[in-house]
Structure 1
Amino acid sequence: MRRWILTVVLLNLSILIALVFVYPQLMVSPGPLRPAHAKLTTDCFACHSPFAGASAERCLSCHALKDIGLRTTAGIPLATREWPAFHQQLASARCMDCHAEHQNTTLGQVVAKPTFSHELLDDSVRSECKACHQPPETAVHANTALACSQCHGTSNWRPSLFDHRLLAQADLKHCAACHMPPTNDLHKGVGDTCGSCHQTAAWKPASFDHGRFFALEGVHDAPCATCHVNHRYDTYTCYGCHAHDPARVAQEHREEGITDTKNCVRCHRSAHGEAGAERERD
């Protein structure tokens, strides 16, 4: 009885093993091939060696390395190319490092695009970014003397590490040449003077020294809207509180021979009289 059961088990196992070799695409295939290789569906050994898996050598038996990205396997030049021809500069031919042929849709897996690592390129061409990539046509990239690697890594184009010290000294003062000026009320009328509040290391946090214009001390440490009506920070008025009556202020200044009382901070930088009169605004 036991010998009969063992015979049946061995017979079934033999049949399974035979089927693996006769119909491998049905028995062990992880999914259909990509459309370009659909004709190899029943010829697993075109890419695979028994018990060894796929090999780059078998890929190159059809795909000549010198023609990849330039010509078809039949030698016909490609009219359009989705990717630049870079395979010729690979340090070694390791096709499976980037390409996964089977599309395992039966298990619900998402078909991934080919992956690429710049580490696969030969050292002599790894820094020649323009050989494959089109340089961006933006103001910050206009300085062609800069190497891409000074800001960008090879794993991802973004985020990038940019140091403003790479720019020419004359360009450091013209932030709006690269950056879009903020359009909120706080920045209206400030012009190209970003450096008075912001640093090149980071846009935030920012620092603003109101004392350069007028010291906010005592009762003058008031809400912004008291002096900047409607939140217009490019203009101000000193007549936003009851302490400064326009008629009285005008009369006091006429006695001193002063007729222009609109630009108060030209002489008054604080509540302490004319202590800042002799200082010019930066």
Structure 2
Amino acid sequence: MNTNNRFGCLTPLAIVSALVTLIVIAGSLLFTGSGLFTAGSLNAKRGDSALGGVFSHADIGNECSRCHPGIFSGKTMDLMCLECHTDVAAQKSDPASLHGALLKDGLTCRSCHPDHRGPNAPTTQMDMAIFPHNSTGFSLASHNAKAFTCADCHGADISTFASSTCADCHRKENAVFMQAHSIEYGDTCLACHDGVESLGKKFNHASTNFDLAGKHAELRCAECHNGARARADFKTATGACAACHQKDDPHNGQFGTECGSCHSPKAWKPATFDHNLAA
């Protein structure tokens, strides 16, 4: 029985290989710092104010534990994110907020905010199919005819938006109309348009002679302003009750056309009947 090498794995070749490996690792650490083990450089875009004592993720590039919890810490990466991003933490409990709507569906911070992709890489990258754009105050319901990405409207910085983007895109569809529309209404598109329908819901109707109260507030703009494309078209709509309700008047006109004499905008009933009308 050969007992010259009781530890068969510790051959001269194995020892030399191990030493070479250690030298390579040590040399890499010496010249690249922790680069040998990093997943990639962190985003270096600086915020306007410090979060968690830093202005960018790159500021904590060598402090892995700031974002990656220990195995036995009982924390998740999402909880680590929220320790700095306290504004997002506050939104979590509000399902009507942007992050509240996203996080309630089981998404994590990394679902939309990847990192370790370089100092200039965007930190927001979302799947449009799951992003609740309604939470921003503008629906994409009327913008589903063509495929597009976030960058098509927001550019490289997903947190900003310029109304001129709307005009630039819609001029490609109808330059003549957009020129007239911009002159008539200006380029603050979001003041009137909400993305659900072409006319939107944000216009302050109380500034006209017909306030949208009660049931009238539930109507779509096009139900009264069908085909309107300019300010003059909108002004042609009459506020007379009979203009809309004559066709379904159960009184067949015998009580006149001033519905407001008995009915309120909230509902047909209860009604205050003036018996003098039946005299």
> TM-score, normalising length from structure 2?
0.34
Structure with bigger gyration radius: 1
Which structure's residues are more often helix, by fraction? 2
TM-score by length of 1: 0.34
